[in-house]
A and B are shown apart, each in its own frame.
Chain A
Amino acid sequence: MSSREIILQRLRNRSGGDLATPECDFSVLKRPDWSTAERIERFEKAIESVHGEVHHCTDDTWQERLAEVLATRGARNLLVPREHAIGKAIRDSARTDLPELLAYETPIENWQTDLFNDVDAAITSTRGGIAETGSLILWPTPDEPRLMSLVPPVHIAVLKASELYTTFHEAMQAQDWSAGMPTNALLISGPSKTADIEQTLAYGVHGPKELIVLVIE
């Protein structure tokens, strides 16, 4: 008998007999129907409490804010998606106040050392956010691969205020996640951090030191 069969058979022939399946009532996870303004406020408060940075923008101002954010950090370059609307907008704007624009257009094996050592910042879109916990929802794609939000020291995320959900539970239901998941999906709530040395918080231990959210209202 294979190990699989041994384990499953032991579980099926449980000596204590069949177990009752309790009902699960998820209503305790519900939060009041916050207005968009309140959701933004709560999102901002939550993510700032863990060292995230929020900038309020509009469709017309976010690129200017992006340029400022990068300039104050002295970023030499910015990793930008090619296909996504935010990437196109940045590339088409032909702004002169942005650093060199890079693209993630070749598999990681071909440029791993460059990505790890020479990329200063990356910008990605989001699939919305969660007000209660101050989280961003990311589904990496070929256009915005997984490591974009992990390896460069600064991660800038664009979040539409209209896509802010109240809770994680609400977000996954509204977006029908149970119908199928991508190869990788993420909730990101702040920059990378650790408290493993005597409970002292330090940021950027493996991932980005800074997470900057441009909220488009």
Chain B
Amino acid sequence: MNSQAHHVDVKEFHPRAQAAIHNPKIRQNFRRAMDGLMAKRTAAFEGWDLETLRDLGANIRLKALSNLPDLLEQLEAKLTENGIRVHWAVDGDEACRIVRDICVARDARTVIKGKSMVSEEMELNHYLGEQGIEALESDLGEYIVQLADETPSHIIMPAIHKNTGEISELMHEKTGTDLSNDVEYLTAAARQQLREKFMNADVGVSGVNFAVAETGTLCLVENEGNGRMTTTVPPCHIAVTGIEKVVPSLEDVSALLALLTRSATGQHITTYFNMISGPRKSEEMDGPEEVHLVLVDNGRSTIYQDDELLDTLRCIRCGACMNHCPVYTRVGGHTYGTTYPGPIGKILMPHLIGLDEGRHLPSASSLCGACGEVCPVKIPIPDLLVRLRQESVDGDRLHPAKVRGHGAKRTTGEALVWKGWAWMHAHPGIYRLGTGTAARFRALQPSKVGAWTRYRTAPRLAGKTLHQRMKERGQ
């Protein structure tokens, strides 16, 4: 069903951005939603010592990452003891095959899904579809996006790019509901449609918000109850998660949960906080008889190698960075063409798809710094954007670039210009000659300088150089 994701060329960022900027519906849908989310977040943290709380969030994530291999082993041991089977996947393809093998072993034909960004990363729905296994999204936003054969435009609110009228038409066309702008009616219709699916699904697939090593507990944060349905009603539950989601203890979860829901949607807590520590016991009346956890690496262990890039792995996927991003708000989530849009996508996706394909991502930012200021675990997103920009042109001779596809944006012409620039600044005589000449012949300066002057007037050279002015002042 994720057929669209397969054909999006991430490199075509600029044409998509142009189209989105000139689409008033997209502009309006995102502007309204992001304004609301920013206000709610601010209100939710009222009365909190937010800086200290964010420090705690950052430290908890760093603590977990500093012991990552040990924690993963502890998690595996504890889950196994609890009766949950643990699988490891080097990349998305392997993770897809693991899920398929579990389905095949159970002769499963239908899979119902709770929200999981990792499964989007794996393009699991598409893969299962090819294998003749139907995968149906049950989160209302994901359900809508799937009906439209699209991908999520926001990691928390997947269908935020659509308004009620568009959703009503879509549901009418695909499911036969009446045309109506009554959200209650549309929601009730989806409830009915999905309840049937929950009852008949062979397998439930969910994501994980936190995996607790100490007790072997998988935590899911949600409002709708579809996550609970997915993990309780079908006879088999498969959870998929990135290897970075493990935390040492339940105590850590209490702090991260406080940060997550307030940062994401401005809620003090979500309706459901679901903690799963095992399959159904023989004396229990419900719950899945089989529970699996698939631990997905998919590039994370490579990010883990570098002290600076490592901070990317602190992310708890709240989406606050996109809610506060002036670029995201204007171009919308689909413009990026990546699983994770917005600021976190710009620092995470280059690792997953390479800096050649993701070359425009680190530049799609004004470096205003809002993302770093609101991040609940204090990821220095702007610094990481600068680092990736340098890597994309191999621009730091002292620190060799590491990210796959680095140097993809480097051009001989630009490299020569900067070389000349550096040489000129190291030779004062040449520098003065150059600036003096430029000032004298400034009338010849072109009024159009490429992309820069498409929306701006060209900067005017000063009539006198700084040296000349200082000299005059001294007289």
Decide whether A and B are members of one complex: yes
A178-B214, A196-B158, A207-B228 known; A50+B301 contact, CB < 8 A: no
Contact present for B140 and A12 (CB under 8 Å): no
Distance in Å from the Cβ of A70 to the closest Cβ of chain B?
21
Which residues of A pack against B, CB within 8 Å?
2-4, 6-8, 10-12, 14-16, 18-26, 28-29, 46, 50, 104-108, 112-113, 116, 132-135, 141-142, 145-147, 150, 167-169, 172-173, 177-178, 180-200, 202, 204-208
Q: How far is the CA of A167 from the CA of B83 in the complex (A)?
A: 30
B184 partner residues in chain A, CB cutoff 8 A: 202
B138 partner residues in chain A, CB cutoff 8 A: 206
Contact present for B305 and A16 (CB under 8 Å): yes
Contact present for B65 and A25 (CB under 8 Å): no
Q: How far is the CA of A172 from the CA of B185 in the complex (A)?
A: 39
Q: Which of B261-307 contact A (CB under 8 A)?
A: 265, 267-281, 283-287, 295, 297, 301-302, 304-307
Instruction: Give 1 or 0 for each of B215-249: 1 = CB within 8 Å of chain A CB.
Output: 11100000111101100110000000001000001
A3-B94, A26-B251, A29-B255 known; A14+B60 contact, CB < 8 A: no
Taking the complex as formed, is B56 at the interface, i.e. its CB lies under 8 A from any CB of chain A? yes
Contact present for A204 and B188 (CB under 8 Å): yes
Distance in Å from the Cβ of A191 to the closest Cβ of chain B?
7
Q: How far is the CA of A208 from the CA of B32 in the complex (A)?
A: 29
Contact present for A150 and B250 (CB under 8 Å): no
Contact present for B49 and A10 (CB under 8 Å): no
A-B residue pairs, 6 tightest by C-beta: A207-B225, A196-B141, A19-B66, A206-B225, A187-B273, A202-B187
Chain B interface residue count, CB cutoff 8 Å, equals: 99
A207 partner residues in chain B, CB cutoff 8 A: 224-225, 228-229, 271-272
Q: How far is the CA of A169 from the CA of B258 in the complex (A)?
A: 10
Instruction: Give 1 or 0 for each of B134-148: 1 = CB within 8 Å of chain A CB.
Output: 000011110010000
Q: How far is the CA of A112 from the CA of B197 in the complex (A)?
A: 12
A150-B225, A183-B287, A193-B224 known; A112+B199 contact, CB < 8 A: yes
Taking the complex as formed, is B252 at the interface, i.e. its CB lies under 8 A from any CB of chain A? yes
For B252, give the chain A residue with the smallest CB separation.
Answer: A24
Q: Which of B89, B268, B283 contacts A3 (CB 8 A)?
A: B89
Taking the complex as formed, is B424 at the interface, i.e. its CB lies under 8 A from any CB of chain A? no
B90 partner residues in chain A, CB cutoff 8 A: 3, 6-7
23 residue pairs of the A-B complex, CB under 8 angstroms, read: A3-B94, A7-B297, A11-B301, A22-B63, A24-B59, A25-B59, A28-B48, A106-B285, A116-B199, A142-B283, A181-B215, A183-B280, A186-B273, A192-B224, A192-B271, A195-B157, A195-B223, A196-B140, A196-B224, A198-B162, A205-B187, A205-B191, A207-B229
A191 partner residues in chain B, CB cutoff 8 A: 271
Contact present for A205 and B224 (CB under 8 Å): yes
A3-B89, A183-B278, A202-B183 known; A147+B233 contact, CB < 8 A: yes
Q: Which of B35-90 contact A (CB under 8 A)?
A: 36, 48-49, 52-53, 56, 59-60, 62-63, 65-69, 72-73, 82, 88-90
Q: Which of B56, B140, B215, B274 contacts A194 (CB 8 A)?
A: B140
Instruction: Give 1 or 0 for each of B335-366: 1 = CB within 8 Å of chain A CB.
Output: 00000000000000000000000000000000
A189-B269, A196-B139 known; A11+B304 contact, CB < 8 A: yes
A19-B62, A193-B271, A196-B158 known; A29+B140 contact, CB < 8 A: no
Taking the complex as formed, is B310 at the interface, i.e. its CB lies under 8 A from any CB of chain A? yes
Taking the complex as formed, is B445 at the interface, i.e. its CB lies under 8 A from any CB of chain A? no
Contact present for B304 and A10 (CB under 8 Å): yes
Q: How far is the CA of A204 from the CA of B286 in the complex (A)?
A: 21
Contact present for A206 and B306 (CB under 8 Å): no
Taking the complex as formed, is B190 at the interface, i.e. its CB lies under 8 A from any CB of chain A? yes
Contact present for B251 and A169 (CB under 8 Å): yes
Contact present for B65 and A19 (CB under 8 Å): yes
B279 partner residues in chain A, CB cutoff 8 A: 183
Distance in Å from the Cβ of A211 to the closest Cβ of chain B?
9
B62 partner residues in chain A, CB cutoff 8 A: 19, 21-22
Contact present for A178 and B232 (CB under 8 Å): no
Q: How far is the CA of A113 from the CA of B233 in the complex (A)?
A: 12
B56 partner residues in chain A, CB cutoff 8 A: 24-26, 28-29
Contact present for A194 and B224 (CB under 8 Å): yes
A4 partner residues in chain B, CB cutoff 8 A: 88
Distance in Å from the Cβ of A6 to the closest Cβ of chain B?
6
Q: How far is the CA of A25 from the CA of B55 in the complex (A)?
A: 9
A150 partner residues in chain B, CB cutoff 8 A: 225, 228-229, 232
For A25, give the chain B residue with the smallest CB separation.
Answer: B56
Q: Which of B60, B68, B252, B278 contacts A11 (CB 8 A)?
A: B68
Other than the given A21-B67, A193-B271, A196-B139, 16 more pairs (CB < 8 A) read A22-B63, A116-B199, A133-B269, A146-B228, A167-B254, A178-B251, A181-B215, A183-B287, A189-B273, A194-B187, A196-B159, A200-B164, A204-B187, A205-B140, A207-B228, A207-B272
